[in-house]
Amino acid sequence: MKILLIQPPIHDFYRTSIRTQPIGLAYLAASLRKHGHEVKILDCQTEKRKSIPIPGELSYLKDFYPFDDRSPFKLYSGYYHFGMEWEEIGQKIRGSKADVFGISSSFTPYHGEALEIARIIKRWDRKKAIVMGGAHVSCDPEGVLQSPFVDYVILGEGEGRFPVLLEQIRKGKVEDIGKIDGIGYRINGEIQINPPQTFIKDLDSVPHPARELLDLDRYRMRRKRSTMIITSRGCPHGCAYCSAHLVMGASFRARTPEAIVQEMAECKDQYGIGMFDIEDDNFTFDQERAKRLMNLIIETFGEEKIELSAMNGVSFASLNGELLGLMKRAGFKTINLSCVSTDPATKERMGRPKARTAFNEILEEAERVGLSVIAYAILGMPDQTIEEMVDTLIYLMGKRGLIGPSVYYPTPGTPLFERCKRDDLLPPHRCQWRSSAFPIETKEFSRIDLLTLFRLSRVINFIKGKMDGKELEEGLTWKGLCRVLEKKVEVKDEAMIWVDLLLLFESDRSFFGLRRDSGGRISISKVESSRKVLDCFFEKAWQKLILKSRSSVVS
């Protein structure tokens, strides 16, 4: 059979291009080829972008994101359709001559774009079979099948299930589909969901992703070709906000280091790939296995001869100095750590794993071996308070590393989603369930409070960057910083306008935007801010140190 696998375009304020490589579709393509099918991938998330109106459901964000702001602390500059336009997608679908279409729906707020792809296909030929998979499908399979444009859904891992489903579709035996676990379908007008009962135990048996079906030049970092690589699946931790267990299960399953390095060598030799982003659910869960992998990478490629990252994040709970040192030697430059919160009660409520080593110690070890750190703080979860979230930002402000502000978004099927649903905290529209829409408000915080915390982390990171560049001295308190800035304010240089903005920020307890009119004249004006958040921040942070983002050890 001819199969076309599709990654839809997305609508949002931003997109991180390097994170859009459809590695899951490449895995599916390899498995389907192994079973004799002819497969192509249509990746609609090209580098194209087109400005589009903000949908009515998100109209409350217009005042949050002044698109004409030119300040160094601005957030987003527009709302866009990222990727191919619908007409071009329709042409490619019609030209594919595919028998079955597999559509990826990986993120709940973007499910509307996946459904639009399905609608385009059915409008062209309603007899074409449409199969949908991805993280959102695993979280809400029944909701997906309520659409008349979707015939089947695949839950969990698709490499084994999709070929079996295709065989039943080919035979026309819909009744036998009920024997396949992890499949959803309609029979006699009724939705039937077969929950996933099994997961692939031997991950080395899964064919390497069919990367030759992708435009590999689109995925570059620092001009080098980059690819995602998966070295393990599953996470036993079960954090209340995370859906990983719904997609890949709660059992940790790992590939052997030898098989992983073989795939990396093939990528390097065949495709000229020099950067690998490890997209595991919990890469360092098995510390000893991670050490063996790092050692084998060093033996195979040499020290720091390839570049590694784990942008999906690494749990600091399973790190130590030895492993961090090996990660640096193997090719890591930066490590993304999940801090979540400095409040022990929040971490306990969220089901965070007990750490073998304190977060402070991991930061110190990372600095010692020369790794930069991005520490992620989650903002806007139920039961969090403004004071707690401010405390977390101040804590990270005083550490060498950048702050990664992660605004909580509700994911169907997770315990925290059910809590939000039960307490009537969910916004009414699915497209609002995204970080950039600040979805959750409680009696403790509003959306404007979260916006202010998010922008505040940008300001702190900006100051850290000025310390990295030696424009500011490291170790200033906020009080000391203001005194230094007051001395700089006499400099009449447009590049130094950030000084005025920071001084206004402190004195008025508000953010300010920067605008330029048609004549090139610059004006400064207030933007939406929470005085409550900023009063709390300055009361607590005034005498606290600000450290730069990296030490002199980092290469």
Does one domain contain both 243 and 128?
Answer: no
Same domain for 182 and 238, yes or no, is: no
Residues 32 and 169 both lie in one domain: yes
| CATH number of the domain within which 291 lies | 3.20.20.70
Residue 277 lies in a domain: yes
In a domain, residue 217? The reply is yes
- For residue 317, being part of any structural domain is answered with yes
Domain boundary among 428, 461, 494: 461
Residue 495 lies in a domain: no
Same domain, 142 and 273: no
**Dihedral angle computed from the Cα positions of residues 117, 120, 126 and 131, in that order, rounded to the nearest 10 degrees:** -10
* Terminal C-alpha separation, the chain: 51
How far is the C-alpha of 24 from the C-alpha of 41, rounded, in Å? Answer: 11
CATH of the domain at 88: 3.40.50.2300
Q: Output the CA torsion 527→533→538→544 (10° steps).
A: -120
pLDDT in tens, 500-535: 999 999 999 999 999 888 787 888 999 999 999 999
**What pLDDT, in 10s, does the model give residues 354-376?**
766 688 999 999 999 999 999 99
Three-state SS at 378: strand
The H-assigned helical ranges of 9-157 are: 23-34, 86-96, 111-124, 135-139, 141-145
* pLDDT at 516 (0 to 100): 83
Q: Which of 416, 431, 461 is the last residue of a domain?
A: 461
45 alpha carbon, distance to own chain's centre: 15
Cβ–Cβ < 8 Å for 338, 313: yes
Q: Round to whole Å and give the CA distance between 488 and 285.
A: 48
Residue 402 within a domain: yes
- Cβ neighbours, 10 Å, residue 55: 14
476 lies in some domain: no
pTM: 0.94
Same domain, 371 and 223: yes
The reply to whether 352 falls in a domain is yes
CA distances 433 to 82, 341, 392, 437, 445, Å, are 18, 21, 23, 7, 17
List the domain range (segments joined by +) for residue 427.
207-461
pLDDT of residue 353: 78
Indicate the number of domains in the chain: 2
Given a contact cutoff of 8 angstroms between Cβ atoms, the answer to whether 517 and 523 are in contact is: yes
What pLDDT sits at residue 521?
A: 83
Nearest to 277 by CA among 356, 234, 222, 323: 222
147 and 189 assigned to the same domain: yes
Q: What is the pLDDT of residue 517?
A: 82
Three-state SS at 501: helix
Angular region, 197: left φ>0, alpha ψ -120 to 50, beta rest: alpha
Domain boundary among 440, 461, 482: 461
**Residues 181, 312 share a domain:** no
CB distance 195 to 155 below 8 Å: yes
The predicted structure's pLDDT at residue 170: 87
Do 165 and 212 lie in one domain? The reply is no
* Same domain assignment for residues 447 and 368: yes
On whether residue 542 sits in a domain, the answer given is: no
Q: 117 with 222, same domain?
A: no
Contact 184, 153 (CB under 8 A): yes
Determine the pLDDT at residue 387.
97
Map residue 524 onto helix, strand or coil: strand
Strand order in the sheet with 183-187: 38-43, 2-7, 100-104, 129-133, 152-154, 183-187, 190-194
So what's the pLDDT on residue 483?
Answer: 93
User: Are residues 218 and 168 part of one domain?
Assistant: no
**Token pair recorded at residue 422:** 């039960």
The low-confidence residues of the chain, meaning pLDDT below 70, are: 355-357, 490-495, 552-555
Q: Are residues 218 and 186 in the same domain?
A: no
Sort residue 111 into left (φ over 0), alpha (ψ -120 to 50) or beta: alpha
For position 493, what pLDDT does the model report?
66
